[in-house]
Amino acid sequence: MNSMPSEVSSLESVLKNLPPQPGIYLMLNKKGKIIYIGAASNLKKRVNSYFRKDLVDPKTRRLVSKIKSIDYEIHESEEAAFLRERELIRIHTPKFNFQYLDDKDYPMIQITAPSTTELFSRLFIVRSIKNQNDWFFGRKTDVKALRASVRSLRTTFPIANKTYCFKTKKVCLDYSIKRCTAPCVGKIPTDEYQQIVEQFVLFLQGKRKDLLGLLYHEMDHASDNLDFERAAKIRDRITQIEATIDTQKGFPQPRDNDVIILLEDSNHYMLVIFWIRNEAIINSEVNYLGVLEVLPESEVVRSFINNYYMGTNFIPSLIEISCKMTEEIEILEIWLSKKQGRSIRIKVNPEIINNSIIKGHVHRFQLELGEKVRSFQKKEQIQQDALFELQNYINLPTIPRRIEAYDISNIQGSLPVGSMVVFRDGIPEKSEYRRFQIKFTKSEPNDVAMLKEVLTRRLKHDDPQFASSLPDLFLIDGGKPQVNAIHDVLLQCSKNIPVIGLAKKEEEVFLPKKKNPLPIPQDSAAIQLLKQCRDEAHRFAITYHKKRRLLQPKSQLDQIEGVGSKRRNALLQHFGDLSGIREATVDELCLVEGINRAIAERIYIFFRTKQQSA
Q: With respect to CATH, is domain 11-97 assigned 1.10.3720.10?
A: no
319/467: higher pLDDT: 319
- Predicted local distance difference test score (pLDDT) of residue 104: 47
Please answer whether residues 21 and 80 qualify as being in contact, where contact means their C-beta atoms are separated by less than 8 angstroms.
no
Q: Is the predicted pLDDT of residue 3 greater than 80, yes or no? A: no
Task: Give the CATH architecture of domain 257-369.
Answer: 2-Layer Sandwich (3.30)
For 398, which DSSP code? S
pLDDT value at 492 more than 80: yes
With cut-offs at 50, 70 and 90, classify the pLDDT of residue 441: low
Mean pLDDT of 363-372: 91
Average pLDDT score over the chain: 83
* Chain-centre distance for alpha carbon 515: 47
Do residues 84 and 115 touch, judged by C-beta distance below 8 A?
no
pLDDT at residue 443, rounded to an integer: 55
CATH of 396-551, one of 3.30.420.340, 1.10.287.1770, 3.40.30.10, 3.40.50.300: 3.30.420.340
pLDDT range class, residue 250, cuts 50, 70, 90:
very low
Q: Go through 374-410 and write b for each residue having 16 or more CB atoms within 10 A of its CB, e for each that does not.
A: eeeeeeeeebeebbebbbebbeeeeebebbbbbbbbb
Q: How confident is the model at residue 482 (pLDDT cuts 50, 70, 90)?
A: very high
Cβ neighbours for 135, distance < 8 A, ≥ 6 positions apart: 109, 110, 111, 113, 201, 204, 313
Please tell me the least confidently modeled range out of 82-91, 98-107, 296-305: 98-107
Lowest mean pLDDT of 20-29, 83-92, 546-555, name the range.
546-555
Question: Do the strands 34-40 and 69-74 form a parallel or antiparallel pair, or are they unpaired?
Answer: unpaired
Tell me which fold the domain 556-613 belongs to.
Answer: DNA polymerase; domain 1 (1.10.150)
In this predicted structure, what is the pLDDT of residue 256? 78
- Per CATH, 11-97 and 257-369 having the same topology is answered no
* DSSP letter (8 states) at residue 185: G
Instruction: Assess whether pLDDT exceeds 70 at residue 337.
Output: yes
**Can you give the pLDDT at residue 6?**
38
In this structure, are residues 487 and 501 in contact, taking their beta carbons and an 8 Å threshold? no
- Report the pLDDT value the prediction gives residue 339, as an integer from 0 to 100: 80
Whole-number Å distance between alpha carbons of 162 and 501: 53
Long-range contacts of 17-22 (CB under 8 A, 24+ apart): 18/43, 18/44, 18/47, 18/48, 18/70, 18/72, 19/43, 19/44, 19/72, 19/74, 20/44, 20/45, 21/74, 21/75, 22/74, 22/75, 22/76, 22/77, 22/78, 22/80, 22/81, 22/331
pLDDT at 380: 87
Domain ranges of the chain: 11-97, 105-245, 257-369, 396-551, 556-613
Q: What is the pLDDT of residue 7?
A: 33
How does pLDDT run across 506-533, given as a tens digit for each residue? 889 999 988 889 989 988 999 999 999 9
**Mean local confidence (pLDDT), 174-183:** 87
Query: Confidence band (pLDDT; 50, 70, 90) for 535?
Result: very high
- Residues comprising the chain, all counted: 614
Question: Which pLDDT score is estimated for 578?
Answer: 84
Please report which residue ranges of 341-468 form alpha helices under DSSP H.
Answer: 359-394, 447-459, 464-468
